[in-house]
Amino acid sequence: MARTLNLEIKESSEELKHLLDKQTSVQMKERLQALYLLKTGTLSTLQELSSVLVRDPSTIYRWFQKYKKEGLEGLLKPYKSPGKTTTIPSAAMGKLRQYLEEYEGFTSYGEIQTWLKEECGVEVSYHVVYRAVHQKLNATIKGSKPRKRHKKKSGKGEASHFPEKSAEVGWGSEEKSPLSNL
């Protein structure tokens, strides 16, 4: 038989139920649900919680350890992975932002790439420059303006590439299109 959990939960079951109803994040709901089920006495072992929440017992155990150390606030604090650090340093990004705002700007991302290497000593790929300009600086370059599209005039004397009626193709009302069987 599994050992019952001995966790002192400071919050009342009503408070946990209110927080559970208010929570929008699925991960945080699971954590609150584990505390609520334990507090109300519905479940009392790690194995029972694990089967009901469909989580590994070690995961639930980690949640409870976090709750013991940091309380409810620590348990519900969303985890933000650090991710990869930016390739273009913030000083160089500031210079680039200023240059793009003050002057006409650049005509290509390759030009920005060269400017970063010469002015800031930062050597980055074309893709990194493109993402930095578009996503981080929300800027465009001179050469990136969309071209105007000219609408073609359709003359009545021009032959159409597609027939307008299926009868013209040779499929009468009694014949079926080869595609109708699909």
Dump pLDDT digits (tens) for 97-116.
888 888 777 888 888 899 89
Taking the CA atoms of residue 6, residue 7, residue 8 and residue 13 in that order, the dihedral angle to the nearest 10 degrees is -110
Query: What pTM, to 2 d.p., does this model score?
Result: 0.48
- At 58-94, the pLDDT tens digits run 999 999 999 999 999 999 988 777 777 668 888 998 8
CA dihedral 65, 70, 76, 82 (to 10 degrees): -90
What is the phi/psi pair of residue 31, to 5°? -65, -45
What tokens appear for 79 in the block?
């985890």
Average pLDDT over residues 111-123: 89
